[in-house]
């Protein structure tokens, strides 16, 4: 029987929700930048990585560990 790790699940969900919030926050500030295209490219990559890490943490938390 496997035991779910609820801490990993919660942190994964928080990271998955934080990634698009981070992206949309910078979407509003990009026009003020000197190079908006480069800024949004970097922000998109960071958001993707954070969302991916959150997804992996969510999956590992739901799989759990052997008790």
Q: What confidence tier does 1 reach under pLDDT thresholds 50, 70, 90?
A: confident
Helices assigned H by DSSP within 30-63: 36-63
Task: Give pTM, 2 decimals.
Answer: 0.87
Inter-CA distances, 61 with 20, 48, 58, Å: 21, 20, 5
pLDDT tens-place string over residues 6-62: 999 999 999 999 999 999 999 999 999 999 999 999 999 999 999 999 999 999 999
Q: What is the DSSP letter of 31?
A: G
Q: What's the token pair of residue 33?
A: 């930048």
Q: Map residue 45 onto helix, strand or coil.
A: helix
**Could you tell me the residue ranges of all domains in the chain?**
2-66
Q: pLDDT tens across 22-35, in order?
A: 999 999 999 999 99
């Amino acid at each position: 029987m496997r035991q779910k790790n609820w801490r990993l699940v919660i942190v994964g969900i928080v990271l998955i929700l934080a990634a698009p919030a981070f992206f949309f926050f910078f979407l509003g500030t990009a026009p003020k930048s000197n190079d908006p295209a480069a800024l949004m490219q970097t922000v998109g990559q960071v958001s993707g990585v954070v969302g991916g890490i959150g997804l992996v943490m969510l999956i590992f938390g739901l799989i759990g560990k052997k008790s």
